[in-house]
Structure 1
Amino acid sequence: MLNPASDDKPASALACGCDDGCGVTLSTGSTPAAQNAMAGFSTGLLTAFGVTLVVVVGFVVFAEWSGLLDRLTEFVPWPLWLAAVLAGGHPIFRSVIRATLRGKVTSHTLMTVGLIAAMLAGAWPAAIIIVFFMRLADYIEHFTAERARKAVRDLTELAPETARVERKGAEIELPVVEIQAGETVIVRPGEKIPVDGEVVSGQATINQAAITGESMPVEAGPGARVFAASFAQLGHLRVRATAVGTDTTFGRVIKMVEEADKHRAPIQRIADRFATWYLPVVVAIAAATYLLSSNALATAAVLMVACSCSFALATPVAMIASIGASARRGLLIKGGKYLEALAKADVVLLDKTGTLTLGRPQITDVVLLHGSDLEPDCLLALAATAERYSEHPLAEAVRTAAADRRLALAEPEDFEAIPGKGVRVRIDGRTIAVGSRRLFPEGALPNEAFELQEQGKTLLFVERDGQPIGILAATDTLRPEVPGAIAELRKMGIEHLELLTGDNELTAAALAKPLDIHYRANLLPDDKIAIVKEHQARGRVVVMIGDGVNDAPALAQADVGIAMGAAGSGVAIEAAHIALMREDWTLVPEVMHIARRTMKAVKINIGFTVIYNLTGLSLAAFGLLPPTIAAAAQAGPDFGILANSARLLRQGRGRPPTGSGSGPHPRWQEDAAAPHLRPAGVRS
């Protein structure tokens, strides 16, 4: 009895079905806070609807078999019946008339046809029953919509409206919308953090469940990133604001929730077209029934039992349930389209830095090349100065290594970032370039570079005024849960897993071979897009997993782009189709399990609806289903679909994360930990 949104309605939700521009929508509520409320509410609503259905249908069956309805029809004159029908159903009748004038067929149109048939056949109790269920459905939709809207309103209220800001040496309280990026915000114990930002000073235990879906609090100190809508359970903080209001991670999450239904699953579009051809088919069956049997009551029963709109309900309810359950686990899904594609995926492409690895490489070697007149610390200081404003993880490793050695950094001039290659700056009038081998002219690599590459290390070359002067070598650490998660993907039948990296062949091989996955190295962002297209041209359904920054183009090109650790990354949330709010690889096979369970539920919903309707039409056509029972029976598929789809709300509850049982291979775990434990060295 609920309607999916038509293409001209708000894309953020399921429409109420009234077709009168009322604006009532059933929001997906796909954030952790909203869905916790919606999950309990959905269970209660389903229970209430089920009890009502059982009581009403039970009474109708008893009244029909006992003859009570026949006596009631004889006793009450038809004008009173008509007045009751018009009084009860006039809001819906108005919406049907408006839809008809626009050339649209809605679920209420189907129900109205059944109602007219009941009245023409003199089956007034059946007409009243149809009106009752129409209004019940209308009430459930409006009530559900209001609760969903309230859940989203409650969600937006998680972020405080005011904040204390340091201005001109004083602490003043301002509306959050007046805070500017770069200002320092004061957060006291027990208060919500009003902005995204970096901790300048202080220490606090932060609850970030509204952002990451992770209930365990985290410790935040100087240099840590914090998010709006999280709150300081213990301690206090001074936070330099980097994003405010709708620009925060929390604001982007709310926007994503509101737009989640824009990308509807292709299978849902079948349901959208269902009502258009279903009505003529039902009318034809009813006409055949009357021509062959001359039984007006059987004809009316055919029209009444067929007026259920459960086919249109089969897909969106399951999608909403899964999107909500996923959000509660820290998985933001932009729409049912991506759940359907993910369920069919057979190729998974993987970024390396920040995706398979922790993205926190360490500098292990500082190598001076022949002819260099610098000391190792001077070379490191030059590189750190050049990388001072770069966001690449290797740049952070260089800066960290310089900070560990207490090296002073200069202020770079004319900073230029070259995507996929490196950076170039001017320092004290000299041009300094730091980056991969591709940044420099073709030529033989020094022997030191080969030796480091054979160890699987990532190299940064340092050049001064066009002349190579040194090499920095770094290693990264594989995420410990990756091997178990990849093994789980293989169990699910993923045919092809492939690592795509801008690193060299030896570094890629050192990571990919122990995992037994394919790899391609020395790739630019455009190369990754080309590889995605290459697989798609072969008819494969491609999933790309990346960090949402350098991989944004490939994430957008893939059938399903999954951003790892998207909390705090606006690029990740915008570019990817699914955002993992925690840096947890167990979420990858988990979201694929969710997608497959969702599509299985959708197919069960559709199959159940088809069988139920065919059975009802057959019984009604042969005169075995009285009009009153037919009127009550049209609510049956809706209840079955709600019950089946509600199971998806419980996804992930009470079970350990996928892959946690197997864990990484002991040998690989040891190998991966080794670089992390090895102290940084200096070679000259």
Structure 2
Amino acid sequence: MNIGMRLRGSWANPAMAGLAIVASWTAELLGSETWGNVFMITAAIIAGLPILKKALSALRVGSIAIDLLVSVAAVGAIIINNYWEAAAVTFLFSFGHALEVRTMNKTRSALSDLIEVAPDVAIVVRDGDQVEVPAFTVKPGETVIIKNGAKAPVDGVVVAGTGALDQASITGESIPAAKGPGDQVFAGTISTGGLLQVEATGVGADTTLAKIITRVEEAAEAKAKTQAFMDRFSQWYTPGIIILALTFGLITGNVTLALTLLVIGCPGALVISIPVAIVAGIGRAAKDGILIKGGEFLENSARIDAVTLDKTGTLTEGRPVLTDVVTMGGSSSEVLRWAAIAEAGSEHPLATPILEAAAAEGLTTPGFPDSTHPVAGKGIIAEESGTRILVGNIALLEQEGLTDLGEASATADRLASEGKTPMIVAVDSRVLGVIAVADQVREEAKAMVDALHRAGVKRVVMLTGDAPLVAHAIAKQIGIDEVRAGLLPEDKLTAIEDLQNEGYTVAMVGDGVNDAPALATADIGVAMGVAGTDVAIETADIALMADDLLKIPEAIGLAKRTVAVMRQNIAIALITVGALLAGVFAGGVTMAIGMLVHEASVLVVIVNAMRLMRRPEKQKATVNKREPVTAVA
């Protein structure tokens, strides 16, 4: 890298001003005070002109910026022949600004990383040949080839081949995900093995990666409430410092004191303390597959003390399986076969696990029964070759005139208390047995609840339309604090409002589409597993790209750490200004020393914020425990 390249951008002015200061000292050592002064004034002009231009630009739009304080102080120092102070103040301010730009760019590294993973080229199958083309020219519907080590250039669906993709840039997952026909692929992910043929569904700006980049850019610019307050504060603070300096200058007749007060009073660290923390926090979240809508939502998330979650598909896998077949006058195969015959004509979600279990046992069904009559809230009545089949709850059997249901009722209650959904099977008025299906609780559900409590969440509430016995059994298993079962969609809104009325800051966790009203009602709406889901990415306050429950406490913990850093930075800035002002009045703090300490405080708050970019050790340990995925070549 040549010297010209090194001096480009924000480093050019402080570099040239620094050389002029060195030339001034050299001239004085050689006995030429005149040339020493000339070089020192030159240094002040080189470093000070950009500062003055920014100050005048701000004044034109009615804003009194920090640059104005430095400009007035530097011009005043030159007028009173204090050339060294003028050069030192402008040089240090310019040098500090260059360091701020460099370190701020580091805090935005998450966005830079996302942009860097965006692929440039794609291998597309056209007229039977593999052709390398620019990624943005791929058309939806075309087949793209992703080889080992290559980046996925588009969003799409695997149509052939198997492999594994590193999806860290999208979902924050550290372990590659296995991919095969029917699986979704995201642009920017990297193949770690295998060969995939992918049908393009999203290209260019329509890819999930492009939407994430846009969202993170917008979020980094969105202001938190504290930042908005600090901006208003600085609009009054800066003129106040000018008036204070002018007043003391007139009272004491000490121009140097007045100019020093201008420099000391610069609220640079105070102004930058909030935005740098927000940028770092949102950047860290983006690296971990957590999209936060903006500073306000990041700040609000730190106050979350109640989390509400839907059961099905959130706390559970959302894929029920048959768990029990209890016989009462027939073999297990007979019970399952008759249940499958009845459910073959049902549209109920619980029919699928029964039919799958019957098929796995090799039990054949006639396709569809002769007749099917679903009974809302109770079960199903079917007829096949003159045989009447009942599959449902006690209420259904009683409705159909069956008696002596004590054993069936007790078995159904026992299974329900275990978190399962029981269904009694009866044929021609004879109870054959009870079958049960259950939606498997997610492996990480209990760890998520424990982590939420450690993060300061006081109440974790399950909101579900499922039966109370089932809901309470699952809640007990994973440590949920409160259960509200048998809810309709509008009841979930009421439950959230009740918590808010009790003074809680409530987060609602859902899928971003079906739970949209509840997500909107909560103080913070959290949408899970939204990679590839445009609506959820755009509308959720927090969007979790991966379908990972542990991302919820991770997001809340990061928000709390970010707000803590914001408060620390404000304290650092205020203490620095207070100490410097005391030093000025006590004597010993000059204009140059004041500017040096001021710039040092700016860098301290930036470095403090950059701590947020590191992943906490506990979080690293959790990630490292997850089992790797082996690609199938």
What interval of TM-score do these two structures reach, taking the shorter chain for normalisation? Answer: 0.7 to 0.9
Deviations 1:105-142 (A, max 9, x none): 22323332333343344322111122213322443455
Residue 592 of structure 1: CA displacement? 2.4
Match of 1:252 among 211, 220, 229: 211
Deviates more, 1:610-619 or 1:195-204: 195-204
| Equivalence map 1:165-314=2 (5 Å) | 165=124, 175-177=134-136, 179-314=138-273
Q: Does 1:557 align with 2:521?
A: yes
Report the counterpart of residue 481 of structure 1 in structure 2: 444
Residue 605 of structure 1: CA displacement? 0.9
Report the counterpart of residue 60 of structure 2 in structure 1: 101
Report the counterpart of residue 644 of structure 1 in structure 2: 608
Residue 213 of structure 1: CA displacement? 1.9
Matched residue of 1:625: which SS?
Answer: coil
| Equivalence map 1:659-678=2 (5 Å) | none
Q: Structure 2: how far apart are the matches of 1:517 and 1:246?
A: 43
Deviations 1:419-445 (A, max 9, x none): xxxxxxxx99999989977999xx955
Q: Does 1:87 align with 2:29?
A: no
Matched residue of 1:114: which SS?
Answer: helix
- Aligned partner letter, 1:87: I
Deviations 1:276-321 (A, max 9, x none): 1112321233234334433221221111111241111111112222
Deviations 1:253-276 (A, max 9, x none): 212212112432211112211321
Residue 326 of structure 1: CA displacement? 2.8
Contact 2:293 2:542 in 1 (8 A): yes
Q: Structure 2: how far apart are the matches of 1:117 and 1:430?
A: 97
Q: Structure 1: how far apart are the matches of 2:129 and 2:623?
A: 51
Residue 613 of structure 1: CA displacement? 0.4
Match of 2:464 among 488, 501, 517: 501
Deviations 1:463-514 (A, max 9, x none): xxxxxxxx99631222223223322332443222110112222221121133
Contact 2:144 2:197 in 1 (8 A): yes
Matched residue of 1:228: which SS?
Answer: coil
Q: Structure 2-normalised TM-score? A: 0.76
| Equivalence map 1:61-80=2 (5 Å) | 75=34
Q: Structure 2: how far apart are the matches of 1:398 and 1:264?
A: 52
Match of 2:312 among 353, 369, 373: 353
Residue 199 of structure 1: CA displacement? 2.5
Q: Structure 1: how far apart are the matches of 2:35 and 2:156?
A: 71
Contact 1:118 1:301 in 2 (8 A): no
Deviations 1:80-105 (A, max 9, x none): 65554333322332222122011112
Any stretches of 5+ residues in structure 2 without a counterpart? Answer: 1-9, 327-336, 382-393, 399-407, 425-433, 627-633
- Aligned partner letter, 1:648: L
Deviations 1:390-420 (A, max 9, x none): xx8x7986896688689999x9xxxxxxxxx
Q: Structure 1: how far apart are the matches of 2:287 and 2:218?
A: 18
- Number of aligned residue pairs: 567
Residue 607 of structure 1: CA displacement? 1.0
Contact 2:223 2:296 in 1 (8 A): yes
Contact 1:308 1:635 in 2 (8 A): no
Q: Structure 2: how far apart are the matches of 1:433 and 1:173?
A: 56
Q: Structure 2: how far apart are the matches of 1:197 and 1:402?
A: 34
Q: Structure 1-normalised TM-score? A: 0.71
Q: Does 1:115 align with 2:74?
A: yes
Contact 2:109 2:283 in 1 (8 A): no
Contact 2:110 2:287 in 1 (8 A): no
**Cα pair distance change 1:504/1:84, threshold 3 Å:** same
Residue 598 of structure 1: CA displacement? 1.7
- Aligned partner letter, 1:535: L
Deviates more, 1:471-480 or 1:276-285: 471-480
Contact 2:104 2:606 in 1 (8 A): no
Report the counterpart of residue 325 of structure 1 in structure 2: 284
Matched residue of 2:285: which SS?
Answer: helix
- Aligned partner letter, 2:475: A
Contact 1:188 1:235 in 2 (8 A): yes
**Cα pair distance change 1:472/1:523, threshold 3 Å:** farther
Report the counterpart of residue 135 of structure 1 in structure 2: 94
Report the counterpart of residue 676 of structure 1 in structure 2: none
Q: Structure 2: how far apart are the matches of 1:439 and 1:205?
A: 43
**Cα pair distance change 1:638/1:381, threshold 3 Å:** same
Contact 1:302 1:621 in 2 (8 A): no
Residue 634 of structure 1: CA displacement? 2.4
- Aligned partner letter, 2:308: L
Matched residue of 1:549: which SS?
Answer: coil
Q: Structure 2: how far apart are the matches of 1:634 and 1:606?
A: 14
Report the counterpart of residue 491 of structure 2 in structure 1: 527
**Cα pair distance change 1:614/1:245, threshold 3 Å:** same
Deviations 1:599-647 (A, max 9, x none): 1211111111111101212222344322332233321320221232222
| Equivalence map 1:452-463=2 (5 Å) | 453=416, 456-458=419-421
**Cα pair distance change 1:459/1:573, threshold 3 Å:** farther
Match of 1:510 among 473, 483, 487: 473
Q: Structure 2: how far apart are the matches of 1:135 and 1:431?
A: 81
**Cα pair distance change 1:113/1:560, threshold 3 Å:** farther
- Aligned partner letter, 1:136: F
Q: Structure 1: how far apart are the matches of 2:143 and 2:362?
A: 27
Any stretches of 5+ residues in structure 1 without a counterpart? Answer: 1-47, 368-373, 412-426, 462-470, 664-684
| Equivalence map 1:574-653=2 (5 Å) | 574-653=538-617
Higher alpha-carbon Rg: 2
Q: Structure 2: how far apart are the matches of 1:171 and 1:611?
A: 64
Residue 157 of structure 1: CA displacement? 5.0
Deviations 1:200-256 (A, max 9, x none): 332112222222222222322233332222132221122334433333322222122
Report the counterpart of residue 427 of structure 2 in structure 1: none
